[in-house]
Every structure is written in C-alpha cells, then in structure tokens.
Amino acid sequence: MAKAFGEIIIDIDKCKGCELCIDSCPQNTLALAPKINQKGYHYAIKVQDNCTGCLNCALVCPEGIINVYRKIVK
C-alpha cells in the first residue's frame, strides 16, 4: 500500500496563533509553541513526526503561511 509522508514549513513570524490548523489536523501533528513570536502570539509548530500531507492545515490557515510537501512511497 502506498504511504504518504508529509512535511510542513510554517512561517512563524506571520502566525497569529488562531489554532485553526491545530484543530483541523487529524494526526495531532501540530501544537502551539510555548514561546511567542515578534507579533506576541504563540505560534503553531510541528510536535510529532506523523504528518501525511493531507493539506487540512494549509487550507484552513487564514494567513496562508503553511507550505506543505508530500511524498508518496509505493
């Protein structure tokens, strides 16, 4: 069975910490960082290495700051 490996890159300086990506992630890959960014928001980070590249976070992210990569291994 083909397996999808995903990877995301978040532009944390533009993150406003709305948590929509965290809520939409079916794998619980994301969480809010304990640190804050230059805007003063807790930003979203990847905390688990189980991303499948499903795109949910990127679709709901209002700022459009999540780049998603997906590699499918057969």
Residue whose CB is less far from other proteins, 1 or 4: 4
Q: Which residues pair with 31 in a beta bridge?
A: 45
Q: How far is the CB of 1 from other proteins (least distance, A)?
A: 19
Q: How far is the CB of 73 from other proteins (least distance, A)?
A: 10
The residues binding other proteins (CB under 8 A) are 5-7, 9-14, 16-20, 23-24, 33, 41, 45-49, 53, 55-56, 58-71
